Structure 1
Amino acid sequence: MKLHDRIFLLLGGTGGIGEALVDSLARAGSRVIVASRHPENIGHREGVSPVHLDLAAIDLDQQLVRLSEAYPDIDGVIHCAGQNRFAELAAMAVSELDAQFSVNLRSAMLVARHFVPRFRKAGSGALVFVGSTFGSIGFPGYTVYCATKFGLRGFTEALRRELADTALQVVYVAPRATATEMNPEAVNELNRALGNHVDSPQAVALVILKAMENDDRRRFLGWPEKLFVVINGILPRLVDKAMLKKLPVIKRFLNTGVLQ
């Protein structure tokens, strides 16, 4: 897909990868409508329009109707929003589980449900979803986050196949560990202790844009993470054993109880 002269609705554009995407899209000649619960916190930039949208709201579908009425020329949506908490399952409140499902998965489904008929009527449109390596590999301490990202990966795959006879594009991009403010210090220390590679938000944003330009159906970031995704799919017991060896280190940081 071309990026110049496109109008993208960006969900999750106020920090980390999303914020880097705003700058990258603007430089590529796109107009970016950044949706946030607090649009007043989005700084003024040429070609960037902040709007209010609460992805966890019960009435998200109605909010989307009002938004697309105000911006009828949207021809692409990038879902880059996400919530998580690095903690044992038993330590999480029900409200924390609900928040992750609402933002990470339910909102993606409602956004697609809203825009697919509009894009189909227009004859074109792009739906881009930013997932995670943890959407393919279950990781201790991220049980709920993994569940939502596994769900997002399955949802986008099914949606892409459902729309295979149309001109609509469905792209799924799965970053690995990324240095964002969403990470508490416990997670940063865990990544260092495990020797995990950590990408910058700017580097991830560039890969997402490249995947969009190349019309990739799916793109996984990082090596050896891409290899682990394949191994986990065909020989999960090997990954089970590798995780078991890392579990004492993971639990040392897991039990800090720090929100992410």
Structure 2
Amino acid sequence: MRLHDRTFLLLGGTGGIGQALIGPLVECGARVIVATRHPERLEKRAGVSPVHLELASPELDRQLQQLSEVYPDIDGVIHCAGQNRFAALDAMAVSDLDAQLMVNLRSAMLVARHFTPRFRKAGVGALVLVGSTFGSIGFPGYTAYCASKFGLRGFSEALRRELADTPVQVVYVAPRATATAMNPAPVNELNRALGNAMDAPEAVAAQILQAMEKDERRRFLGWPEKLFVVINGILPKLVDKAMLKQLPVIRRFLDSGVVS
């Protein structure tokens, strides 16, 4: 995928991974339209245009239409926006469930639905969807997040196959635990207790760009997480047993009363 002279719509540009993507994209010669709820938080720089977009809004489809009218040259979308909450299922309000499904899954589907016809007509276009290792491995305390990311992975796979005879590229990248502000202190402590590595947002951003430049269909990040994804798909009982051993530690943080 060529990055130079492209115009990318970046969703989640004020988050850790999204923010880390802006600089490298501009340095590659791309123009970046950063859509966020808080465009005022972005530093002004050449090649970057902040715009307001509410991914959880019932009016998202209309907002996308208005955005396209202002920026008709968009020929790529990078969706790395996300919400999560580390909590037991019965401790989450309906609004918590709705927010994760709306932002993590529904918004990606609506964005793809909006831009796919334009990209097909133009003969060029890319949809880059940033998922998670938890889109392949169910993890206690992240039931809603896993559901949304499992859905995103399935959506990207089905859409890629649906568009296989078109010039539209669909890329799915699944990071492992990443050190961003989305993770509260208890989650960071849990990762340390379990010995889970956490990547810097800049490292994840570099991997996303590599996957784009190499025209990869999917890329899973981190070792041994990539191995666990394969094992979980083939022999899920092995992962069940491993998770059962970790469950007392996970419950200690789940039941602490301090959640994101």
- Normalising by the residue count of structure 2, what TM-score does the alignment of the two structures yield? 0.99
1:53-202 aligned at under 5 Å gives the runs 53-202=53-202
Instruction: Determine the C-alpha separation between the residues in 1 that align with 2:96 and 2:23.
Output: 31
Question: Once the 2 structures are TM-superposed, how far is the Cα of residue 257 of structure 1 from its aligned partner?
Answer: 3.5
Extract unaligned runs of 5+ from structure 1.
none
Which amino acid letter does the alignment assign opposite residue 59 of structure 2?
D
Match of residue 256 from structure 2: 256
Q: Structure 1 CA distance, aligned partners of 2:41 and 2:199?
A: 25
CA distance in 1, matches of 2:64, 2:176: 30
CA displacement 1:129-155 (0-9 Å, x = unmatched): 000000000000000000000000000
Opposite residue 185 of structure 2, the aligned amino acid is E
Q: Secondary structure at the match of 2:25?
A: helix
Deviating above 4 A after TM superposition, structure 1's stretches of 4 or more consecutive aligned residues are none
Aligned length: 260
Which position in structure 2 is the counterpart of 1:8? Answer: 8
State the TM-score, normalized to the length of structure 1: 0.99
The C-alpha deviation readout for 1:38-67, integer Å capped at 9, x for no partner, is 212211111110001000000100000000
SS of residue paired to 1:172: strand
Q: Give 3-state SS (helix, strand or coil) of 2:245's partner.
A: helix
Q: Secondary structure, in 3 states, of the residue corresponding to 2:5?
A: coil
| C-alpha distance in 1 between matches for 2:258 and 2:104 | 20
Please state how far the C-alpha of 1:160 moved relative to its aligned partner.
0.1
Identity %: 78
Q: How does 1:30-41 map to 2 (within 5 A)?
A: 30-41=30-41
CA displacement, residues 134-188 of structure 1 (integer Å, 9 cap, x when unaligned)? 0000000000000000000000000000000001100000000000011100000
Matches within 5 A, 1:207-246: 207-246=207-246
Partner of 2:64, secondary structure, is helix
Give the aligned CA root-mean-square deviation in angstroms. Answer: 0.7
Q: Which letter maps to 1:143? A: T
Counterpart of 2:176, as a letter, is: R
Shift of the alpha carbon at 1:15?
A: 1.8
